[in-house]
């Protein structure tokens, strides 16, 4: 393993790497394996002031190389992080699963209280259910920082029994592993590192664990907005994007509902008297795809269709749901207007079609304040040799509610992952140490030197 020695006379940080014969394969930041043999790396010369800070008990908010104590604490936390991830993934906590969400909340309340946080349960606003968890740590510095993650998943109760948590290579796979239980683990581990290195140079760190994100955070969005207004920066802990990126802009989301009313009749005796709502629904579903706008990256996807209640009856009712994603409010306006035109284009006579669209998450546009946070993250990640990119993504998230208050916001500073909402939902276990290091250093940096929020918000 690496040995880090510092000397004031040489004014250098020297990292001596042991030979291959005495060293197991080293896991790189991106999960690749390599053997390091008799190499010596000499970092750029530090100022004497920076070296003096290394000698005192408080942790410096800025380093040209790795903060040795933070890196060591992140490595120490890795086994705990792996165990906590498995424990959380083994709980069914789909949106609306009050029992599962309560079990998650009980575990995390204990974890966070052990770290010195004041923890409270905040009921979700109806119609959402399940308690949100709000944990607060108070320090002695300037910055107020909001962390956000979510406990709920898209998977129904019983999924864990069908697909229990498994580890394959560097992947921890299971329902909600990457989306977003790895984000929760990232937060807990980073807060543990701060405690272990005795860092308190922040005014307040608030962590919201949302119970209903997957259905639009109806029960938590006002809580997020309120806590964001009290903060100088917000970090949403959705998965980091492989190979090593974070999110800097997201689409907003909306739900289209199309209801078709037809006429029931005996399917064998006199089907001609019926007006088949399912046949009309198939036509409407095909039309909905035309609302997409590829040049603007606007997507419209039919995700649910229901109709009929008996095999021998011409169905008189059908329902369609479609998912809409767009980067701009104007695109949502266009989709909503064109939706009504499509609803008037029917193929079955005498049917009635009602169409509506409800907006959930607003778009999160790229902003100068996000770029500034990205630049901080890139500088801090470089301490451990990491290179970060900021990428746009097509999914929506709670960061949009924080950002719309004017609070500088960023997303994806968490363990890497992928396969969201599918059978391959995973967390990249090899990214635990570097990503926890990054999140911890961001908390230190923002606590010591918080950004200035725009006035009038």
- In order, the DSSP letters of 303-348 are EEEEE-S-TTEE--EEEEEEEEEESSHHHHHHHHHHHHHHHT--SS
Residue 27: exposed, middle, or buried by beta-carbon count in 10 A (0-12, 13-18, 19+)?
Answer: middle
Could you list the beta-strand ranges (E) of 229-276.
233-236, 245-250, 252-261, 265-266
List phi, psi (to 5°) of 225.
-60, -45
CA angle 291, 289, 276 (to 5 degrees): 115
Nearest C-alpha neighbor of 199 from the set 445, 395, 32: 445
How many CB atoms neighbour CB 277 within 10 A?
Answer: 26
Radius of gyration of the chain (CA): 25
Which H helix or E strand runs over 189? Answer: helix 182-196
In 31-88 the beta strands, taken as DSSP E runs, fall at 33-34, 40-42
Angle in degrees, CA 307, 308, 313, rounded to 5 = 150
Catalytic status, residue 152: yes
Q: How far apart are CA 442 and CA 383, in angstroms?
A: 12
H/E segment holding residue 138: strand 131-138
Question: Which residues lie across from 103 on neighbouring strands?
Answer: none
| Set 97, 131, 152, 247: catalytic member | 152
| Interaxial angle between packed helices 368-381 and 432-448, expressed in degrees from 0 to 180 and rounded to the nearest 10 | 120
Q: Are 234 and 93 in contact (CB under 8 A)?
A: no
Residue closest to 232 by CA, chosen among 455, 397, 446: 446
Q: In degrees rounded to 5, what are phi and psi of residue 289?
A: -60, -25
Give the other-Cβ count within 10 Å of 394's Cβ.
13
Instruction: Considering the candidates 213, 238, 247, 398, report the single residue annotated as catalytic.
Output: 213
What does the alpha-carbon distance between residue 247 and residue 180 come to, in Å, rounded to a whole number? Answer: 14
Q: Which of 2, 445, 16, 12 is nearest to 232 (CA)?
A: 445
C-beta of residue 195 within 8 angstroms of C-beta of residue 68? no
Residues with catalytic function: 152, 213
């Amino acid at each position: 393993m690496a040995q880090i020695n510092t000397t004031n006379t040489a004014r250098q940080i020297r990292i001596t790497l042991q030979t291959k014969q005495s060293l197991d394969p080293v896991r790189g930041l991106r999960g690749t394996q390599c053997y390091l043999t008799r190499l010596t790396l000499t970092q750029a010369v530090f100022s004497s002031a920076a070296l003096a800070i290394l000698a005192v008990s408080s942790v410096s908010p800025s380093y040209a190389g790795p903060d040795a104590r933070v890196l060591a604490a992140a490595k120490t936390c890795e086994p705990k992080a792996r165990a906590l991830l498995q424990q959380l993934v083994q709980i069914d906590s789909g949106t609306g699963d009050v029992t599962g969400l309560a079990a998650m909340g009980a575990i995390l309340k204990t974890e966070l209280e052990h770290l010195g946080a004041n923890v409270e349960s905040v009921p979700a606003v109806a119609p959402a259910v399940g308690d949100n968890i709000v944990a607060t740590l108070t320090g002695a510095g300037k910055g107020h920082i909001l962390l956000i993650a979510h406990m709920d998943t898209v998977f129904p109760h019983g999924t864990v029994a069908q697909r229990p948590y498994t580890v394959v290579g560097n992947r921890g796979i299971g329902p909600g592993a990457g989306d977003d239980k790895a984000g929760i683990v990232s937060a807990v581990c980073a807060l543990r590192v701060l405690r272990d290195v005795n860092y308190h140079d922040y005014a307040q760190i608030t962590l919201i664990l949302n119970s209903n994100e997957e259905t639009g955070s109806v029960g938590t969005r006002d809580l997020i907005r309120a806590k964001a207004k009290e903060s100088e920066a917000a970090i949403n802990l959705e998965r980091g994007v492989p190979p090593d990126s974070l999110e800097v802009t997201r689409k907003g989301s909306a739900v289209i509902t199309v209801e078709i009313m037809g006429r029931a009749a005996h399917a064998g005796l006199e089907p001609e008297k019926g007006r088949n709502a399912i046949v009309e629904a198939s036509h409407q579903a095909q039309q909905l795809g035309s609302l997409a706008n590829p040049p603007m990256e606007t997507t419209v996807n039919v995700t649910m269709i229901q109709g009929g209640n008996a095999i021998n009856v011409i169905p008189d009712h059908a329902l369609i749901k479609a998912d809409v994603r767009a980067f701009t409010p104007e695109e949502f306006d266009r989709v909503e207007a064109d939706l009504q035109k499509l609803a008037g284009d029917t193929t079955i006579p005498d049917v009635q079609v009602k169409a509506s669209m409800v907006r959930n998450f607003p778009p999160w546009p790229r902003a100068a304040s996000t770029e500034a946070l990205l630049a901080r993250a890139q500088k801090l990640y470089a301490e451990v040799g990491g290179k970060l990119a900021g990428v746009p993504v097509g999914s929506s998230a709670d960061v949009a509610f924080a950002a719309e208050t004017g609070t500088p916001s960023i997303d994806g500073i968490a363990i890497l992952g992928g396969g969201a909402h599918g059978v391959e939902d995973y967390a990249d276990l090899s990214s635990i140490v570097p990503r926890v290091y990054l999140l911890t250093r961001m908390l230190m940096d923002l606590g010591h030197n918080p950004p200035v929020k725009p006035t009038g918000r």
